[in-house]
Chains A and B, each alone.
Chain A
Amino acid sequence: MMKFLKKFYLAIIFIFLYSPIFVMILFSFNEGKTRAKFTGFSFKWYSSLFEHDILLVSLLNTLLVATIASILATIIGTFAALTISKMRNFNRSLSLNVINIPIVNPEIVTGISLMLLFVSFALPLGFFTLLMAHVTFCVPYVVLSVLPKIKQLNKSTYEAALDLGASPPLAFRKVVLPELMPGILSGFLLSFTLSLDDFIISYFTTGPGFPTLSITINTMTKRSIPLTVNALSTIIFIIVFILLLLINIKNKPNIKLGKM
């Protein structure tokens, strides 16, 4: 009985999560123009997607910003974590608290505060301001993923490398960095996802010349949304699904090992 209830509950939740996506995918194949009525099967929205350049341009913009911002945030965040790990007492807790602000603050406050910053310095809102904003809200997440790894570091291995004649940079590269790599990678992935998904901060920090996907879709919702959005979303859904499956398959042996 209990088992049945559990399965039933899971089924309800997954229906709730997936029915909008399913409907969206269904209507991407609609022959008609609206998402109210399915009139026939066709691929026309997929072909018009590749002519309808604003969506594709926005998608490319989003990917471009997410890639550069997450790389920069990973570099800055890793150095920030290394710097913080060397601090003591007051300085350490102060900088940790400051670094945490963008995580704790509501996104809209981060968004407008950065907008005020850029406007005060008379920077035109566009690619660079958007990039800086994304780096700013991603860095704290990198710091939070790298810091625990620094704590776990065994100091003796670094000293051993120095004793064996390695220069400090070489010892850092060959001994410390590999140990930190899992934290750095998860910080990078987290930044990339956050940047891809962001709407609110981008909304305040980019200009009309550089729309991201979220912003273009938001503009479109003010009029009637073309079904090309459904087609694009379906493609994104399938890519993400395949990526997640691949990651899961690759990780499976590790999970098993961890369980033993």
Chain B
Amino acid sequence: MNRRSLPLWFWMTFFIILPLALIIFFAFFEKTTEGVVFSTKFITTAIRNPDYMRTMWYSIWIALLSTVACLVLGYPLAMILSTVKIKLRNFMLILFILPMWMNFLIRTYALMAILEDNGTINSMLKFIGLPTIRILGTDWAIIIGMVYNFLPFMVFPIYTIMLKIDKGIIEAAQDLGANSLTVFSKVILPLSIPGIISGVMMVFMPAVTTFIIPQLLNNKSWTIGTLIEMQFKGDAYNPNLGSAISLILMVLIVIGMSILNKFDHEHEAGGIL
């Protein structure tokens, strides 16, 4: 090991490895009156407790729905953005990034005002004489909130990869007699898969762990994020249990990522981002 690389190793050990080691430590060791003892009870509680399991599946389910919604909405958007004339495109990209540069909390708070029972949507419904609907406080509100906050994470990777697709290939397919549907399904879609994969990862990851979007938009439903947050900041203070849940979450994510990565390597067209 080179003497010059020592500060880097020191920094990485102290700020990246040690904190993660602490999570593992807290998940397995407990401070009792007889000192620090090994215990698997936190991990077993986290796995065995049916409420926690339900919360985990619920988070994964909501995150999946949000990711699919982002993909369905974002894919056509990325495609359209990549075909717009350059001058207009830059302006549209600015319009698209602009909400992202506002604070995350401000964005979600702004959305809250729209979705409220006496918010904008319901005022408009009332104005044209339709019955009002309840959005805030339902799962729909969470999904809308996730899409509103994470849509750019889906659009940008796909958009970048769309720009890179060689127009010659598309023209060649058209010359060989493919109609626009075949061109899309046989050329554009397969070539854009690496973009889709990184988009899915970049949306799913924050969606599955966020606790602030559910808390603001539907505070009755809990996600993994809420569970972890409560063990550290809430009334149910229990860092050991919180660490155990985080550890399980990390393991699940590593498994998920390696599956997606394998899928990505089969296409071998581009890396993440």
Q: Is the CB of A240 within 8 A of B212?
A: no
Q: Is the CB of A112 within 8 A of B23?
A: yes
Residues of B close to A27: CB separation below 8 A? 113
Q: Cβ of A117 and Cβ of B18 under 8 Å apart?
A: yes
Given A35-B113, A196-B103; A244-B90 close (CB under 8 Å): no
Q: In the bound complex, what is the Cα–Cα distance between A105 and B246 (angstroms)?
A: 10
In the assembled complex, B250 has its CB within 8 A of some CB on chain A:
yes
Do A116 and B26 touch across chains, with their CB atoms under 8 A apart? Answer: yes
Contact of B36 with A by CB under 8 A: no
A83 with B5, Cβ < 8 A, contacts A9-B76, A244-B94, A255-B86 known: yes
Chain A 206-248: CB-based contact to B (< 8 A → 1; otherwise 0):
0000000110011001000100010001001100110011001
Q: Is A1 engaged at the interface, CB distance under 8 Å to the other chain? A: no
A72-106: CB near B (< 8 Å → 1, else 0) gives: 00001001100110110001000100110110111
**Residues 1-38 of B contacting A (Cβ, < 8 Å):** 1-2, 4-5, 7-9, 11-12, 15-20, 22-23, 26
Q: Does B184 contact A (CB under 8 A)?
A: no
- Among A21, A86, A106, A196, the residue within 8 A (CB) of B4 is A86
Chain A residues positioned under 8 Å from B120 (CB to CB): 19, 23
Residue from B16, B17, B103, B208 in contact with A213 in the complex, judged by beta carbons closer than 8 Å: B103
**Cα distance A121–B239 when bound, in Å?**
15
Contact across chains for A112 and B114 when beta carbons are under 8 A apart: no
**Which residues of chain B (96-142) have a CB below 8 Å from chain A?**
96-107, 109-114, 116, 118-120
B95-A20 in contact (CB<8A) = no
A-B pair number, CB within 8 angstroms: 193
A199 touching B104, Cβ below 8 Å: yes
Give chain B nearest CB distance to A204 CB in angstroms. 7
Contact A115 B92 (CB under 8 A): no
Do the beta carbons of B80 and A84 come within 8 Å of each other?
no
If A83-B5, A106-B209 touch, whether A18 touches B99 (CB-CB below 8 Å) is: yes
Please classify the interface of chain B as helix (H, G, I), strand (E, B), loop, or mixed, using the class held by over half of its residues: helix
A106-B249, A120-B22 known; A83 vs B8 contact (CB < 8 Å) = yes
The reply on B158 being an interface residue by CB < 8 A is no
CB distance from B154 to the nearest CB of A (A): 12
A109, B23: Cβ atoms closer than 8 Å: yes
Residues of A within 8 A of B100 (CB): 197
Whether the Cβ atoms of B18 and A84 lie closer than 8 Å is: no
Q: Are A108 and B229 in contact (CB under 8 A)?
A: yes
Interface size on A, residues (CB 8 A): 73
When distances are taken between beta carbons in the complex, the residues of chain A under 8 Å from B116 are 36
- Confirm or deny: B170 has a beta carbon within 8 angstroms of a beta carbon on chain A: no
Q: How many B residues are at the interface, by size bracket?
A: 35 or more
Q: Which residues of the partner chain A approach B198 to less than 8 Å between Cβ atoms? A: none
Q: How far is the CA of A112 from the CA of B26 in the complex (A)?
A: 11
Q: In the complex, are the beta carbons of B114 and A203 less than 8 A apart? A: no
Contacts of B209 in A (CB 8 A): 106-109
Contact yes or no, A91 B246, CB < 8 A: no
A184 to chain B, nearest CB (A): 17
Known contacts being A91-B5, A104-B257, is A98 close to B92, with CB within 8 Å? no
Tell me which residues across on chain B come within 8 A of A193, comparing CB atoms: 101
| A212 CB to nearest B CB, Å | 9
- B67 at interface (Cβ–Cβ under 8 A)? no
Contact partner of B15 (CB less than 8 A), chosen from A20, A24, A136, A240, is: A136
Q: Are A20 and B114 in contact (CB under 8 A)?
A: yes
A24 x B113 contact (CB < 8 A): yes
A67 sits at the interface (CB 8 A): no
Q: Which residue of B lies closest to A251 (CB)?
A: B90
Identify which of A10, A87, A115, A245 contacts B80 (C-beta below 8 A).
A10
B195 interfacial contact with A, CB 8 Å? no
Question: Could you tell me which residues of chain B, from 183 to 239, have a CB within 8 Å of some CB in chain A?
Answer: 205-206, 208-212, 216, 225, 228-229, 232-233, 239
Which parts of B35-76 form the interface with A (CB within 8 Å)? 73, 76
Which A residues are CB-close (under 8 A) to B172?
Answer: none
Q: How far is the CB of B238 from chain A (nearest CB, A)?
A: 12
Q: Does B8 contact A9, Cβ atoms closer than 8 Å?
A: no
**A116-B113 CB under 8 A given contacts A98-B12, A105-B250, A245-B94:** no
Give A105's nearest chain B residue, CB to CB: B250
**10 examples of A-B residue contacts, CB within 8 angstroms:** A10-B80, A16-B148, A18-B99, A24-B106, A106-B209, A106-B249, A116-B26, A214-B105, A217-B106, A237-B102
